[in-house]
Amino acid sequence: MAVKGFNPFEMAQKQFDTVADLLELDQPTRDLLRQPLREYHFNIPVRMDDGSVRVFRGFRCQHNDARGPCKGGIRFHPQETIDTVRALSMWMTWKCAVVDIPLGGGKGGVVCDPHDLSPREQERLCRGWVRAIAQDVGPLRDVPAPDVMTNPQHMLWMLDEFEAIYGAKYPGFITGKPVGMGGSLGRTEATGYGLVFTLREALREMGNQCENTVTAVQGFGNVAQYAIKLIGRFGGKVTCVSCWDQVDRTSYTYRKKTGINLDELLTITDRFGGIDKAKAEALEYERLPGDAWIEQDVDILIPAALENQINAETVKKIKPRVKIIAEGANGPTTPEADAVIKERGIFVVPDFLANAGGVTCSYFEQVQGNQNYFWPKEEVLNKLDEKMTAAFLAVSELARSKKLFMRDAAYVIAVSRVANACRDRGWV
């Protein structure tokens, strides 16, 4: 979990300010891109199964739509804040720009814990979220998607409510839907696979291959699971994963020096990525504190959970053996930690490049939905590989030619594209 007092939006703005200085952006452009264009705060009253009514707080931020409709997930999380949503919407703008898809950045959230809600209560919450924001989202304005603790079923309820309000079919309104109901094949794998495609390219540039590498992963949700799967296919080994325990309300790291068995762990994992600790120990997994993932003696670290996980304190725990950090989560590394990582020469595949596979495949789903024509899975994943590889190579080339840190190079490309779009439209 994020450290108390940490403000992700301040971190996102600090990252932007650094790149704005590099690009020598004029003040109006800085002012425009430093804040969301629009943000919405609303209450969602929900009738609970026992007949009582609870009121949940919902948000939607639209950071910038100069390059196309906003795009971004909806989080259900008990610690959701407007500053988290603001930061994530900004990062989505850069993410869409760095992989060069014609979308802008948005993000949504609800302060809730779906573990404590029945399926019917979750459905009412989803429909209530859509009713609160329906006039300001849509396939040509702002296209939501799943995020932390939301899933294809939630997206389908939201789509159904949106279509009921407007009295027509809008399969392009929302992505991450179930396959067969307007969802795209390959969408489930996309973020994790996209991360490993960029990791593969990073290793190639360093003269290595995934084969024989050892990786530690924070998180065991969708992104982590599919990243682990593809690393295994490429011949690499993952020795530990860190996940949230729903019973204890804390996180643990599960380790096997011989390498974890993904299929084995999946049989004892709940739908939120939590591992049954008793069954894990019966399978001879060592249980460590949740933050122990970062201090493992490995080649690669993949933070694939929440923001602020590699900070001024935890960065000190990274072993000398670590050569690459591939950021599956949004905003996992603070600027203070980045300074240490740069000094140590650790290669970073930054979050809004590494985890852009999800939004890229969401874009593919949106295109397929609007066309009402759907592609085979192999075609989707091949297109994803092409997009992610091209984006990585462009960032890496700029980093080498200008002697920039990879995160700074990715920001330079993304911010330049968005700033140019704003200028071309005559906004600044």
Active-site positions read 107
* Structure-token pair, residue 312: 């001024």
Please name the helix (run of DSSP H) or strand (run of DSSP E) that holds residue 216, with its range, or none: strand 214-218
Q: What are phi and psi of 180, to 5 degrees?
A: 100, -15
Tokens of 45: 């009253």
Distance CA 120, CA 130 (A): 16
Angle between helices 8-23 and 82-98 (to 10 degrees): 40
Distance CA 185, CA 279 (A): 32
Residue from 262, 208, 268 nearest 230 by CA: 262
Residue keyed to tokens 């020469």:
345
- Phi, psi (rounded to 5 degrees) for 168: -155, 170
- Count how many residues are written for the chain: 428
Distance, in Å, from the CA atom of 133 to the CA atom of 259, rounded to the nearest integer, reads 46
CA–CA separation, 156 vs 333, rounded Å? Answer: 33
C-alpha closest to that of 166 among 144, 189, 134, 191 = 134
Question: Which of 269, 289, 184 lies closest to 225, judged by CA?
Answer: 269
Distance CA(124)–CA(208), nearest Å, equals: 50
Q: Say how many CA atoms lie within 13 Å of 222 toward its Cβ.
A: 19
Report how far residue 348's alpha carbon sits from residue 23's, in angstroms, rounded to the nearest whole number.
Answer: 21
Q: SS3 for 243?
A: strand
